[in-house]
Structure 1
Amino acid sequence: MHDDPTPQIQVTVAAPADEVWRALRDRTRVRQWHGWDAPELDAEIDSIYFGDIEEDAEKRTLTANGGDRFAVEADGDGARVVLTRAPLSGDPAWDVYYDEITEGWTTFLHQLRFAVERASGARRRTLLFTGHDRADVLDRLGLKAVAELAPGSRYTASAEGRDLAGEVWFRSAHQLGVTVDAWGEGLLVVTGLPGPGTAGTPMLLLSTFDLSEEAFADLDRQWSEDGAGAAE
């Protein structure tokens, strides 16, 4: 379990604060970065961002359903998104998932940044694969050395007949995000990596934007057949 009673996640976005705020308050825009393709996605978005919430549009703050608080602050020509987790509830059955949820927010905020900076207005589709081994997933993807590069660095990787190239998008204690040129505007996030503290569930999230149905189906089939894990 984490040591900080209310951990914070901060992501800087190269876009005006008002534009980033709209990415939190417009359902269509939220759908560009929150979660992954699933039948319950729209209901989840409605519950978290438009249900029992507290909003101050002038200050650009939002306390989502569940108590996590978003603040969008101007940062030079860009914006900084600060998410402050709600404290533990005191219910062990719920609190056991606290760190897992924190890791999920880390993924989603970096997906928000990508959507705003690189794919605004595009239709996002995200594949989710689970069940891979956290100890060797970077080796299997050819990304072990890439994980040591600074964000913004170009990379190429090849493993198991799969070639990847793009830019290191982010690196956190338990996650690696890289852009993938071959998917157009594409983002691959690897979660659950070994590191200090609680790593969360190992997952691969493959986000594409305005990819054709045929290309998306091919991507799904390739990664499923290559043993990326179980598709959700």
Structure 2
Amino acid sequence: MADSGEGPRIEVTIAAPVETVWQALRDPRLIRRWHGWDFDGLDEEVQSIYLTGVTEDATAHVLEVGGSDRFSLHSSGEGTVVRLTRAPIGTFPEWDAYYDDITEGWYTFLHQLRFGLERHGLAERRTVFIEGTLEEPGVLVDALGLREVATLPPGSPYKAETAAGGELSGQVWASSPYQLLLTVEQFGDGLAVLAQQPHAAHRPEGGVLAVLTTYGLDDPAFTKVESRWTAWWERHRVVPDDDVIDPGTPPA
């Protein structure tokens, strides 16, 4: 991740032709196979971000979304460089409080795009999503038992026993000051995004986020992954006040 005069710049190089990557950014049926995670509003989110009110130049392979953030695709010897340049903070003051969150989100999404294309040709996926605050203040990778893995450079193989999902193995896909992305053999050659969310006015205690992307798992295997991780999270998260069920007045 680099900083330009305009705003933060994020670049990934994808081992695929420019036209293939461009199609992955323009076809909503393909976007939903790499962007974010599964939830009921995913199709609407894809439409809102990538298709509504965007400016595109299909010849130059340039796409501007939300009137601010700019994708540009560049052919290279290794495939396609995808460059995302953010508009400077202050362009939309009402979103300034979430500026860093959005930047981190783009980092996640671009690496999900790269992974989905390179490793699976944008095949269908299933995901597990976790977000909130750890009950014991700390770093998500530490709580999961992945502190040593987080010190490895991208491309390094790893094998670790995690607190949530048992043994995981694969390679370090990417890392940043706030994120660790790991390929996971046990997810059907899937991807784990483990992120630390910084302290902010809307999140004074900070937070954590995990996106687990799986491929080709049958229902029992996927349910096992989902159950292990959500059970661990339920034991270690802060329960928000609006999650607490009011038992009401006890019967007389």
Q: TM-score, normalised by structure 2?
A: 0.82
Q: Which runs of 5+ in 1 are unaligned?
A: 195-199
2:241: which partner in 1?
none
Could you list the per-position Cα deviations for residues 11-55 of structure 1 after superposition, in whole angstroms to 9, with x for gaps in the alignment?
111111221111111112111111111111101101111110111
Name the larger-Rg structure. 2
2:186 to 182, 187, 194: 182
What CA RMSD, in Å, does the superposition of the two structures yield over aligned residues? Answer: 2.4
Partners of 2:133 and 2:207 within 8 A in 1 = no
Partners of 2:13 and 2:82 within 8 A in 1 = yes
Higher RCO structure (Cα 8 Å, ≥6 apart): 1
Q: Does 1:202 align with 2:205?
A: no
1:157: which partner in 2?
160
Per the alignment, do residues 19 and 143 of structure 1 end up closer, same or farther by CA in structure 2, a change over 3 Å counting? Answer: same
What are the residue-to-residue correspondences of 1:136-147 with 2, within 5 Å?
Answer: 136-147=139-150
2:175: which partner in 1?
171
2:75: which partner in 1?
74
1:220: which partner in 2?
226
1:26: which partner in 2?
27
CA distance in 2, matches of 1:100, 1:46: 20
Could you list the per-position Cα deviations for residues 157-185 of structure 1 after superposition, in whole angstroms to 9, with x for gaps in the alignment?
11336111001000112100001001112
CA distance in 2, matches of 1:49, 1:186: 24
What are the residue-to-residue correspondences of 1:107-122 with 2, within 5 Å?
Answer: 107-122=108-123
Q: For residue 86 of structure 1, report the CA deviation from its aligned partner.
A: 2.0
CA distance in 2, matches of 1:26, 1:3: 29
2:7: which partner in 1?
6
Partners of 1:5 and 1:88 within 8 A in 2 = no
2:49: which partner in 1?
48
Per the alignment, do residues 90 and 131 of structure 1 end up closer, same or farther by CA in structure 2, a change over 3 Å counting? Answer: same
Aligned identity (percent) is 45
Secondary structure at the residue paired with 2:23? helix
Aligned length: 226
Partners of 2:73 and 2:81 within 8 A in 1 = yes
CA distance in 2, matches of 1:107, 1:181: 19
Secondary structure at the residue paired with 1:21? helix
CA distance in 2, matches of 1:22, 1:3: 27
Q: Which runs of 5+ in 2 are unaligned?
A: 199-205, 239-252
Partners of 2:10 and 2:83 within 8 A in 1 = yes
Q: TM-score, normalised by structure 1?
A: 0.89
Q: For residue 112 of structure 1, report the CA deviation from its aligned partner.
A: 0.4
Q: For residue 209 of structure 1, report the CA deviation from its aligned partner.
A: 2.1
